[in-house]
Structure formats: structure tokens, C-alpha cells
Amino acid sequence: MDGRVDRYVQELTGASRSFVTGLFDHGCVKVNGEPASDGSRRLQVGDHIAVRYEADRRYAPKPPRRAVARGFEVSFEDEHLLVVDKPADLLTVPTPAGESNTLMDRVAAYVRAQDKKLSAFVVHRLDRGVSGLLVFGKSREIAEALQEQFAARKPEREYRALLAGALQREAGTFESRLETHAASLQRYSTRERGRGELAITHFRVLSRLREITFAGLRLETGRRNQIRVHCAEAGHPVLGDPRYRPDLACIPLWRAKRMALHAATLGFAHPRTREMLRFESELPTEMAELLAKLR
């Protein structure tokens, strides 16, 4: 017998990966008479595995500890991928200017420190001033499988934003075709037939507080600057946005040196196990404090 103990237990029980994780978390698995808390442990020939659990009981995995690693937080990690919580004011990947110390650099260094045979591969991106959840593949194959899901609009991606002014509708959809200005590289919606990339953003008002709207924004497509452009063109830019309607976005209430936009929810199918994974990230301190102040 040679392999990971959690895989052996999953094969033995026929249960889902999350259920098996719960068995380990609740002390139901023993190796050679000792409780096994680490499912990634490698088994050796001669090891004795015992699994005892109640068939009608639900063994929910315990919430993972969010480990701080090289300036970002790890929300989930296995041998195939990792989900990280990106801080604001950090590039996901270098621009053509060739910046170093991007999130990509940090995640790759973190992965290689564990296994020199692995690296980190970008699946999707967040703008520099945006915080929140991103998934990276540990191999090109896994990253490409995840990218296919994103291209097919399958992952769940919801943001939280503080917008300037009061959105009148409780919920709705922004839909346009986005073009890029050749000189400034700013994005804008075009009405020219056959031009631009289709961009669809669904929104809902969570609360209205004085001069701002707290909104949930769900991406159906994932174009560069999509949420920022759609909100700005509707007359309600993201607070702190220096590029799209800064005349409205930069108000005295918002003093943080970042945009009030956070990738709060990320869900997708694991490329290997096909299990649906869903992660949530807490609202950044700056946004939470302003909401508390206005309520």
C-alpha cells in the first residue's frame, strides 16, 4: 500500500472529499492506532488504517485556518491548486513594464518552497486596487482546466462594492461591449456593431447609506475593468477609483488608498475531483468600518 491516506479512505468509503476531510477533522481515522489529522500523509506497506464513523451522521469539515503566507492569505490548498486572498494595491501579474514582486511572483515562490517541481499558474486576475479571492493552478494542466470553466462562465464570482450615490433600482444587469482606448488603455462601452467584448454584470443593492450604495455585483463575464466601467457609466463609480469617474468616486467619506471593491465569493468545480468548491472572503477593514460608521 503506497499513497495518501485520505485517498485510501475515500476509496474505502466511497464518500465525497469533503466528507472524508470531516472524518479526519473529527478523529474518525487512525493509522497504526494513532489518530490521523493529516489526510495528505503518505502510507507505507504494512500500515494499518482504521475508520470508524456513524453512517447517519454528517461529519462537516472544520473551517480551515487562514494562514498568512508571503503577504497574502491562503484560503484553500491541495496538491493541484490554491485559493488566495489578494490584498489591495498589489498587481496580480506584471504589466508590459515588467514589474516584480507581483502576487504571481509571491504565490509561485510559496509553492516552490514546498515542492520545487511545482509552480503557480494564473487562472484569472484582479485589478491592482481590488482585493479578494483568486485561484491559481499548481500545474499548467490544472490552470488550463480552470480557465476553460471561466471561459464557459461557470464559476461563481461575486463582489462587494461601495458605490458613489444612490442606485435607484434594487437589482438589474449592466450589459455592453467593452473596447479599449488605444492611447490611455481605458475601457469603455461601445455601440458600434461588431466591436468590443461582451460584458455582463448583475447587481443588487444591499443597502443605501447617505451618499453611497453598498452593492453586490456578480460577474457573468470577466472582462478587464468590467465592474468599474459599468458602475462608472451608470453614474455610480466605485469609491476611490482613480480612473473611471474620479470626480464622483473620490469623496471625503472614503479616505482609504484603495478602491472599495472586493472579490468576496468564488466558486468552481475542482478539475480533478469535480467537487464543487465555494469560498468566501470577509469584507476588508476599510469598507466594513465605513459601513459601520454610516449605519
Q: What is the per-residue pLDDT across 63-116, written as a single tens digit (0 to 9) for each?
A: 554 444 467 999 999 999 999 999 998 999 988 777 888 999 999 999 998 888
What percent of the chain is modeled with pLDDT above 90? 62
Query: What confidence score (pLDDT) does residue 63 get?
Result: 59
Strands (E), the chain: 3-4, 29-31, 34-35, 42-43, 49-51, 67-69, 72-77, 81-86, 121-122, 131-137, 156-164, 171-180, 187-190, 197-209, 212-219, 261-269, 276-280
> Model-level pTM greater than 0.85?
no
**Which whole-number Å values give the CA distances from 30 to 42, 57, 133, in the listed order?**
13, 19, 34
Please state, rounded to an integer, the average pLDDT across all residues of the chain. Answer: 90
Phi and psi angles of residue 123, each rounded to the nearest 5 degrees, phi first: -110, -45
Q: What value does the mean pLDDT take over residues 255-259?
A: 91
State the pLDDT at residue 65.
46
What are the pLDDT digits (tens) for 129-173? Answer: 999 999 999 999 999 999 999 999 999 999 999 999 999 999 999
Helical spans, DSSP H, in the chain: 5-13, 17-25, 103-114, 140-151, 226-233, 246-249, 285-294
Listed residue (214, 210, 208) closest to 284, CA to CA: 214
**Domains in the chain, ordered, with CATH?**
3-51 (3.10.290.10), 158-262 (3.30.2350.10)
Residues with a catalytic annotation lie at: 127
Give residue 2's pLDDT band: very low, low, confident or very high (50, 70, 90).
low
CA dihedral 41, 140, 90, 265 (to 10 degrees): -70
60 or 118, greater pLDDT = 118
Give per-residue pLDDT as tens, 48-58. Answer: 888 888 877 87
**Amino acid, single-letter form, for residue 158:** E
pLDDT attached to residue 185? 86
